[in-house]
Structure 1
Amino acid sequence: MLKDSFGRVATDLRVSLTDRCNLRCSYCMPPEGLQWLPKPELLTADEIMRLVTIGVERLGITEVRYTGGEPLLRRELVEIVQRTAALTPRPQVSLTTNGIGLERLAAPLAEAGLDRVNVSLDTLDRDVFIRLAHRDRLADVLSGLEAAHRAGLAPVKVNTVLMRGVNDHEAAALLRYGMKHGYQQRFIEQMPLDAQHGWKREDMVTADEILAMLGKEFDLTPADPRERGSAPAELFLVDGGPYRVGVIGSVTRPFCGACDRVRLTADGQIRNCLFAREESDLRTALRSGASDEELAERWKAAVRGKRPGHGIDDPTFLQPSRPMSAIGG
């Protein structure tokens, strides 16, 4: 088991397959992009699968989610998903993506064993999308969502970051869109993970504000809290149900006490939290001939050092040096 000193057990592994992305969302990276990790530093498909296999077979991982950057840019993605789904015991296999390329890959990924997807969609307005992502790709994202739904990658979850004065006026429209198409809509507070380090708490649209916006057009009632478990989203019944909308208040409503996640970066570093400033290197040991048992012990030691919370409210909080694109959501 991957157990920390506070008794939390990590069963949900987030694996970044690449730090590269084909969008330039303002809350993640600058319009000109970033300096990508050199290819030799990235884990190969075989190295990824060795670590994922150790996690599943030796350390109790029950869910593997592939992230990026943009994981659809990884050429071996379908192969990696297929190999993951073939593990025993079989983990749940999911994907977090911006949706570009999903129209082509949804069916092959479903056939390979992918269970579900989370797709980022911050706006339904083409001009706002271009302003946010610095790319004219909204139509591709919407087509990708439809393809995922057709392929049975259910539930299709839609992740939206609301930004003050940019897209916060679209909250109700995005929820109606999700309800119409059968997607699970989730709104997420903007987190201090941008490469520019320009995040300001006062600019963030809070969970309370999101609920107030939605409450003007919908009747929201809290769902049974037992449904949440260790999931980051608080669930609310919309107009009495059965549809549920999720709100993830990572900053103002932290859920660190129930966190069951651990992260593996594209270059083989273990991270215990999105906001951690410490990493534990597995790649060097992996490439130096360490046995599976040695790698498992290093991994367990890394998780034991997990902090009690993300510490954003602490006056000494410092944003992690890596942006979201290099960490993996």
Structure 2
Amino acid sequence: MSDLLVDSFGRVHNYVRISVTDRCNLGCQYCRPGETAGHPSKMDLLTFDEIAAIVSVLAEMGVTKVRITGGEPLLRPHLEDLVDRLSAIPGISRVGLTTNGMLLASKARALRQAGLTDMNISLDSLLPDRYAMITNGGDLSRVISGIEACFKAGFEMLKLNVVLMRGVNDDEIESFLRLTLDYPLQVRFIEYMPIGKQAEAWKAGYMALDGIMAQCADKGWNARRVEPADRMSGSSFCGTKDDSGPAKYYRISGAAGEFGLINPVSDHFCMACNRLRITANGSVKPCLYWNDEWDLKPFIGNNELLRQAIRRSLEAKPQRHEMIVQPGQKPAQHTMMRQMSQIGG
């Protein structure tokens, strides 16, 4: 199909992440360092009509999966209405949400009934005081209640995202792994990325994920890689058959769930990238760690011009990011300065 979203390196894009707000009710140190929770948005946000129009065109171009992000997307009123509209678009097979979980308990059932299939919850500590410190005031008990509500609502996929930081939460790896022994969910360990204005904090906190498998071995846990063929055969019971993305998944023998490793810094996965990002004010970013953006709002209502704008963004997508510039290497562009909460992760 000639209309497919293929960039100049042959990568097919079938996944879009759309931010619905840059606001957040937390101030996580790796996402919005130095900011307090609840700041008013300064963006001219896309309306639900505009988001649906963009996704309809993307679906015609081969996109099958949409993820709603923020900021904190549950701060956007009536989000279940958007989920309902997106899940009804022909060609869209999965609609996911990434949330910090603080507002989730009362909304999980309505979101599931509206057609939300996948739930990702950011959870960087299982210790209440530490969680409050990392998030600048978050309440861990509210997140736990949100997770329990997701199990009751029957989501097809439930993931917990853990940004691993040296000297902050790296002593909780075993605790997170133990969750997968008892619960049918995916715990995903993510390398701390140097996004936005936090270079010094990143240098102090970054750690690679290569020690996690060693911890499994030390505990006597046999962790086996979950291959795509396992999902296709139906033997994987906490993931979907079409689950594609940057994580490499493993299951400890006898475990109810899985754990994943996402290492964009130490072992970049750029050549397998299949996603676009759309900011809350309507700009498409073909690469997370790249400044270039294309404003889509002027073209909404004219599908052919919208398609052309999306294709132009893909034509400029770099072969790989430059999160880490080696000594003596000159970066191709200035460091990406948007905070993660402004991009949509």
Q: Tell me the TM-score normalized by structure 2.
A: 0.88
Counterpart of 2:21 in structure 1 is: 18
Q: Offset of 1:196 from its aligned partner?
A: 3.5
Per the alignment, do residues 246 and 320 of structure 1 end up closer, same or farther by CA in structure 2, a change over 3 Å counting? same
The alignment's C-alpha RMSD in Å is 2.0
Identity of aligned residues (%): 39
Q: 1:125-184 CA deviation, whole Å, 9 max, x = no partner? A: 011011101114100111111111110112211110111111110011012124323221
Q: Offset of 1:36 from its aligned partner?
A: 5.1
Q: Is 2:271 the partner of 1:269? A: no
- Give the counterpart of 1:176 among 175, 178, 187: 178
Q: 1:278-301 CA deviation, whole Å, 9 max, x = no partner? A: 111112333xxx511111111112
Q: Is 2:326 the partner of 1:326? A: no
Counterpart of 1:133 in structure 2 is: 135
Q: Is 2:255 the partner of 1:251? A: no
Q: 1:26-47 CA deviation, whole Å, 9 max, x = no partner? A: 11112433865425x2111111
CA distance in 2, matches of 1:3, 1:33: 39
Query: Which SS does the other structure have where 2:308 is aligned?
Result: helix
- Give the counterpart of 1:285 among 295, 299, 306: 299
Amino acid at match of 1:224: E
CA distance in 1, matches of 2:320, 2:61: 22
> Which structure 2 residues correspond to residues 137-148 of structure 1 after superposition, within 5 A?
137-148=139-150
Query: Which SS does the other structure have where 1:198 is aligned?
Result: helix
Is the contact between residue 183 and residue 257 of structure 2 (CA under 8 Å) also seen in structure 1? no
Q: 1:247-296 CA deviation, whole Å, 9 max, x = no partner? A: 1011111111111000110010000111011111112333xxx5111111
Q: 1:188-230 CA deviation, whole Å, 9 max, x = no partner? A: 0011124444343463121213333343223323333656974
Residues paired across the two proteins, number: 324
Is the contact between residue 192 and residue 319 of structure 1 (CA under 8 Å) also seen in structure 2? no
CA distance in 2, matches of 1:60, 1:22: 34
Q: Is 2:10 the partner of 1:7? A: yes
Per the alignment, do residues 308 and 117 of structure 1 end up closer, same or farther by CA in structure 2, a change over 3 Å counting? same
Is the contact between residue 116 and residue 156 of structure 1 (CA under 8 Å) also seen in structure 2? yes
4+ residue runs of structure 1 moved beyond 6 angstroms? Answer: none
Q: Is 2:307 the partner of 1:305? A: no
Q: Offset of 1:55 from its aligned partner?
A: 0.9
Is the contact between residue 197 and residue 319 of structure 1 (CA under 8 Å) also seen in structure 2? no
Gaps of 5+ in 1: none
- Give the counterpart of 2:55 among 52, 56, 70: 52
Q: Offset of 1:76 from its aligned partner?
A: 3.0
CA distance in 2, matches of 1:224, 1:78: 33
Is the contact between residue 29 and residue 134 of structure 2 (CA under 8 Å) also seen in structure 1? yes
Indicate the larger mover: 41-50 or 258-267.
Answer: 41-50
Q: Offset of 1:321 from its aligned partner?
A: 1.1
- Give the counterpart of 1:188 among 181, 187, 190: 190
CA distance in 1, matches of 2:165, 2:36: 20
Gaps of 5+ in 2: 232-241
Amino acid at match of 2:81: E
Is the contact between residue 195 and residue 324 of structure 1 (CA under 8 Å) also seen in structure 2? no
Counterpart of 1:295 in structure 2 is: 306
Counterpart of 1:235 in structure 2 is: 249
CA distance in 2, matches of 1:311, 1:115: 33
CA distance in 1, matches of 2:36, 2:335: 19
